[in-house]
Amino acid sequence: MKTAIHQMMIDARMGSNSNDLCKQCRAASNHVTNALGPYLVCDAEFSAKSILFVGKVARGDCLGPEIADQLEDVTAFGASSIAERSWPYYAYTRAIIERVYGDLATGIRHVSFTNMVKCNNETTPDTSDRTSKEFCIAKNRFIWEEIEVIRPRLVIFYTGTAYDEFIDGYMPVYASTHQNNENRRVVVGKKTMPWWSRSFYDDQQREVLKFLRVGHPERKKKEDYVDAVSRWIRCVFEATPLDSK
């Protein structure tokens, strides 16, 4: 699966000036980082218990080898980060995986982890502007292509409301209709965070994808955040028989 994702990105010349849209985006947004591939990629395509976690923007540079012009393979960095780093982005996701699958080693085979925007004009802060979002998400469609190659059962967006118009406009090529399930705020410690879920159906009205868009883990109470997201995932999985893959 990792090979298929990387090949899609290489074929699209993601991050490179040989991709006209990326070239325009770099010029308009003053991007200085390479494009980052996914942090984690699950072992196989669609299964009833697979999850894709999606962050906002790629943060960092020189995190892995270049596999094409201005495109880095960061899966080794992602594997070590999900196992060891204390940042909420990784630590909360690790706790969710352990809560859902029982342990990290089992869960990691079913999990992918990536970002909405693949480059940045800073190596650490999230400084993505509307221009880079439009080029990367709406025009180049890199995140949507990732979803359609991986075909996860669930997508968990850690994006807050900042990317909602792009998420709202997405329809998988293997789906024909969608239905919003809930759009509200939930209590996490002393704060609340946005909570929006949607189901997608094929021509036979079979549910083929479900997403949950929540707030970013940073500055959220860990136990409440992990409990809310993992309970939602388990409820979906318990209602869906595990397929043969």
Closest CA to 195 of 148, 244, 158: 158
The beta-strand segments (E) located in the chain are 35-36, 51-57, 66-68, 71-72, 111-117, 154-157, 177-188, 191-201, 207-214
C-alpha torsion sign, points 21, 57, 114, 201: negative
pLDDT tens, residue by residue, 53-75: 999 987 777 899 999 999 999 99
For the domain 2-238, what is the CATH code?
3.40.470.10
Q: What is the pTM of this model?
A: 0.94
Distances (CA, A) of 16 to 10, 71, 80, 118, 191: 9, 7, 27, 11, 40
Q: How does pLDDT run across 65-102, given as a tens digit for each residue?
A: 999 999 999 999 999 999 999 999 999 999 999 999 99
Q: Please state, in angstroms and as integers, the Cα–Cα distance from residue 98 to each residue in 210, 226, 236, following that order.
A: 21, 10, 16
